[in-house]
A and B are shown apart, each in its own frame.
Chain A
């Protein structure tokens, strides 16, 4: 670890989600905000330990997209068939609204899924191939079987010593400070 380079923060490696979650709770109580847990699967205890609104945000975006998609899907059909170029098709009424529903629904689904995907990427700032945290030793196991707690230095309540102490109390395998 280099003293002069501005550090990204302190990252601790843990064996179990419970340990990581415990650390998280302490950090939260300590009022830190710029920290996160990195793990190989979405596990309840961790979810409970990490406060975030991203899920809600994504949900709202997708809901809006669904409404928008449905409306647009119906509107283009209605406008084309009834207003822009009305044609007598087999003696059926121009505004055959039941016939507009299927396409409208499909477009609604399309919008929902795609905006959901984009919302997820935006919420988690992906794609981002490079990230300082990848410098952490054995961080590759964050996607396999280990749990990492990373605390960012830019958090105004950040105090490397204190964090190390919390890590240690919860049986950290190794705590390493990495450059930004």
Chain B
């Protein structure tokens, strides 16, 4: 597990496709899994058979293959291979490189295999979009791979059919299509970055000249594209360099959460934010946003303003920075002073300043951003441009709107849908489902039997990205091959294979398709030994120097005249077809007399479910949202002031009336939300999904029309009297209430007095300190670097077999995450300063939990880890009561037994806990122990960095560092030597091994008064008294 950080390539291998484990006949396996787990639900030994099944029997792979035909296997069986695959060492993990593309752009990953089964996702350090890190979604993909409810059977009009049947039908269809040169043949895809797929489409065009290719993503980057078009007169992708920027202006920016390349951006950004390392070189971040983003949370000055105000603000900045007509600098704005200060700061940082605009902003704002960047001289230093990575259909009109119109004009008789669930995400005013039903011959390639699958004739189950061959480009164009980690189950096929059928090949072979394309590429780039090239690309997980070429373009001079003379009113999203439009929203409803004043609606993707495609993923559903801390729900987010005005409080049910379209939604009062702006997170309220995702939350798409994809004004909120919603929030109190949890200060304070945050530390004790002569594992968490993305939490859940407990149990405060990220607010509820604090087990040297355990179930080991011995635990729960950090979790029910995931997906290195057992973070003791055994085998000491905890490995910003704190040279020892190092609740003298580096902000002195006053002991001063629960709680 540890070794790929060292001699990496040796540990990554090429999957032997012929020998891949398969899940043929999963029902038996899953059935058995559930039965067996249930059988042991009550004992600590519940996973007994599971692990033997997984680890001790070398034949579990073979068994997978045989499960369908063989009788039930006695768990006491040892089943050796018949022929042992080369290189397989039972009980040793192996790593295979591939890539995941949660938003269409590739992120390189390494998949850990145990006995041929993919178990865990890690980032690929060699991949530019990963750099070894992963996102929460990336971590969770492994669960989707094992989702037992994904479609397996190919269906025709809802009834099970077979691949041959489909192939024959398709071939017939093909004949008639050939006859009419492909007239009526339409292709609907999402974002396409796979060169192989593009080539296939081009090939299709050769056979079917009149093929029409449409593109649709429910949550797309059209605005950015249109903005670039507007600003540069041509499509480009922007590559910001946050490591080079001293001053950053983020316009509701997604650069820390979802923008292509966000993992790299986060890494770069953090590299300039860890105060103890960069000292005076710490960068400064401003954020203007209508609804809180992670960037806003990290901002030194976050200003909440409505979309209109944002646009005005940008014009004003443009005016005063020479990026637009100077009269703009006079534009009236509520936050004028602040803006001027920002402008001054940006001007001062000329050449080292950067403006980044989020995908949800209108094309105009993007254009303004481009102009600002140009004026600030960012293009040379902080910003570079490349040809767009995502393929653009050559059709002039290729939006879903055009498709729907074409269908209604009867111009489409054969529709191949590769896009992800368009029926669910399409604009509500299109009624795309009806259109789809009118298509005589429609095919949908989708992972589950979702809303779209029910509206088409043929539903071909789509193979998971870890089940099929493909390739994908990253945000910077770098190419990676996606190799299957496991054999697809049932009739699953990839997009490549489906298109291959359309072009006449009835038994497509994904590997052949991709390989063929790559051979062509290789030939073009003059590679002699293709096999070596291919092998190397697979092993490394990236194809050498495939990054897109930089291009030099500058914003057109007449940009400002292109923009509407006056700041356009709100709700100016162009139709999906992509050309910019500043036309005011048509959907805006006129408020009826006496009705409450209208508000602006913002449609935003949910940070974890995205556009809804991950709704079936239990880990992501149960992940607390960074700001609302909600699980299993979305909510209409309103600002505290607006809530007061509308007499709303959290969990009230409201009816949102938008030009006649009505939607009932529960309200959540969210600090930092712009006034009179209501954010409706997308991706919930799936009508047809797996048991996990179905009917969770409300479906905001029902209000989203073609012209108001991102925002619209004129909505009326009507409170539904005395009806409240029950939320499952995992954090009920939002303030530190003056407790010594988070220590923070300003850069000024820090430079003036580096030790300002180290105080009140007493080591006095009646007892002699326990000696740890050998290794002493320790962890340091840098609060400057933590962006609250929850990648670590998901990684922990994946590594440590944490179960999903479901909404009702979360409501009872029984969630099982070992690592949580506390979110605290300071300052005014309107524009609070946000603090993210990851809290794993502190591994106290004077552990309060251990002393109260009557059975030695939690005790210390010689490396100072606070062991939790599940099989010894009788479940008194005193340890949890006595833990001042409340990091212990208890199996109140047999959660693991009732978890639907197949048991072969659990991590065999970690005990699966049964009912009535306490559990908690152990610094991934399975990893430390494996590393120590490896080192001990050849009588050496464990190297620094040889073992990484799951959270540390996933963290994009290197906020978490783990290692031997006795070794002065180790990274963790160096971190702990920082003057900012402090122990949470240190006064209790628990001597935690996990310590924090105090949070340093870098506010603009000119703005010190604004927004967020703070002192080293921030909290007391600016906070409401105890129980300030205005973030609400069901």
Contacts and interface: CB of A to CB of B under 8 A. Distances in A.
A and B, direct touch (CB closer than 8 Å): yes
Interface of A: 87-93
Interface string B767-780: 11110000000000
B52 to A, nearest CB: 28
The 10 A-B pairs with the shortest beta carbon distances in the complex, nearest first, are A90-B850, A88-B860, A90-B851, A90-B847, A91-B846, A91-B770, A89-B850, A87-B859, A91-B845, A89-B859
Contact of A90 (B768, B769, B860, B861): B860
Interface string B749-784: 000000000000000000111100000000000000
Contacts of B851: 89-90, 92
B965 to A, nearest CB: 16
Number of contact residues on B: which range applies? 10 to 19
Contacts of B150: none
A93 B771 CA distance: 11
A74 B850 CA distance: 21
B856 A89 contact: yes
B856 A88 contact: no
Contact of A88 (B849, B859, B991): B859
Q: Is the interface of B mostly helix, strand, loop or mixed?
A: loop
Contacts of A89: 850-851, 853, 856, 859-860
Interface of B: 767-770, 844-851, 853, 856, 859-862, 991
A92 B861 CA distance: 13
A102 to B, nearest CB: 13
B441 to A, nearest CB: 70
A93 B765 CA distance: 12
Contacts of A88: 770, 859-862
Nearest to B765: A91
B848 A90 contact: yes
18 contacts: A87-B859, A87-B860, A88-B770, A88-B860, A88-B861, A88-B862, A89-B851, A89-B860, A90-B846, A90-B849, A90-B851, A90-B860, A91-B770, A91-B845, A91-B846, A91-B847, A91-B860, A92-B767
Contacts of B768: 93
B991 to A, nearest CB: 7
Nearest to A87: B859
Given A88-B770, A88-B862, A90-B844, 13 more contacts: A87-B859, A87-B860, A88-B859, A88-B861, A90-B846, A90-B847, A90-B848, A90-B849, A90-B851, A90-B860, A91-B770, A91-B846, A91-B847
In this complex, the member of A88, A91, A92, A93 whose beta carbon has the largest number of chain B beta carbons within 10 angstroms is A91
Contacts of A91: 767, 769-770, 845-847, 860, 991
Contacts of A92: 767, 846, 851
Contacts of A93: 767-768
A89 B866 CA distance: 9
Nearest to B852: A90
A90 B882 CA distance: 12
Contacts of B861: 88
A88 B844 CA distance: 12
Nearest to A89: B850
A80 to B, nearest CB: 10
Nearest to B847: A90
A117 to B, nearest CB: 29
A100 to B, nearest CB: 14
Contacts of B856: 87, 89
Nearest to A93: B767
Contacts of B845: 91
B591 to A, nearest CB: 63
In this complex, the member of A87, A89, A92 whose beta carbon has the largest number of chain B beta carbons within 10 angstroms is A89
B993 to A, nearest CB: 11
Contacts of A87: 856, 859-860
A88 B850 CA distance: 9
Contacts of B769: 91
A89 B862 CA distance: 11
A83 B721 CA distance: 68
A83 to B, nearest CB: 15
A89 B869 CA distance: 13
B699 to A, nearest CB: 51
In this complex, the member of A88, A90, A92 whose beta carbon has the largest number of chain B beta carbons within 10 angstroms is A90
A89 B859 CA distance: 5
B988 to A, nearest CB: 12
A65 to B, nearest CB: 26
A57 B787 CA distance: 77
A176 to B, nearest CB: 62
